[in-house]
Amino acid sequence: MATSAQTLSLIIDELVKAKPLDRDAAVTLLAAKGFLPKKLTEKPKEKKVSCFASKAAEDFAEAKGIVVPDGFKGTATNDRISVKDLKQLAEGPKAAKVNASPSAQQFCRDNGLDITKVTGSGTEGKVLLKDVKDLKPTAKADSDDEDTGKRKVSSAAAKLMKQYEIDEEDIVEVEGTGTNGTVVAKDLKELIDLIKAEKSDESSDEEDDE
């Protein structure tokens, strides 16, 4: 609906008289006088810009109670945060990958050794089982010897130990399932698998070097 000449004249008079500093001031002045339609006086709703890439990411953050650090930039478009980014935040920083064979890592875990302080003798400084075997705490070994004495090993297990060059110290943590705790062949399976994996890793490294 067009504004009448009389209304326009009144609007002009008000503006000349009040001399508002800016548009917002003029709108406020004229709205108070009833000269403007309601739609013109309503402030536009601010569109909320989400930092999440999707509703799924937003729901994931809320469900897990994840607090996004200030300044954190996601990997999605426009630096928005994806579910993948949130999972990484929840998990925390990943520990640096250790250049060591599976058997060496397992040995260190079992014996409470810090593998990061071991100098490896393998390709590109890879830590091998033989590098960590001599680092096993003697106190624990002595204690075990006093409590249990020499481990009982079946003939089949003994053959496997000889075949894979497994020392008695290597089976201190192995639980014997035979009579009176005797270590039988099946008890060595996990250790042998680790040794096989180590040899496989060494072969793979040698092929890469070629």
Q: Which H or E element spans position 6?
A: helix 5-18
Task: Tell me which of 105 and 12 has the higher pLDDT.
Answer: 105
Average pLDDT, the chain: 77
pLDDT tens track for 148-199: 456 788 888 889 888 888 888 778 778 888 888 888 889 888 888 888 888 7
Task: Please determine, for residue 45, whether its predicted confidence score (pLDDT) is greater than 60.
Answer: yes
Task: Please determine, for residue 46, whether its predicted confidence score (pLDDT) is greater than 60.
Answer: yes
Contacts of 158 (CB under 8 A, 6+ apart): none
The lowest-confidence range among 34-43, 122-131, 138-147, 157-166 is 138-147
Q: Could you give the 3-state DSSP secondary structure of residue 161?
A: helix
- β-partners of residue 153 are 183
Per-residue confidence (pLDDT) for residue 139, from 0 to 100? 43
pLDDT tens track for 60-110: 888 888 888 888 888 888 888 888 888 888 877 655 677 888 888 888 888
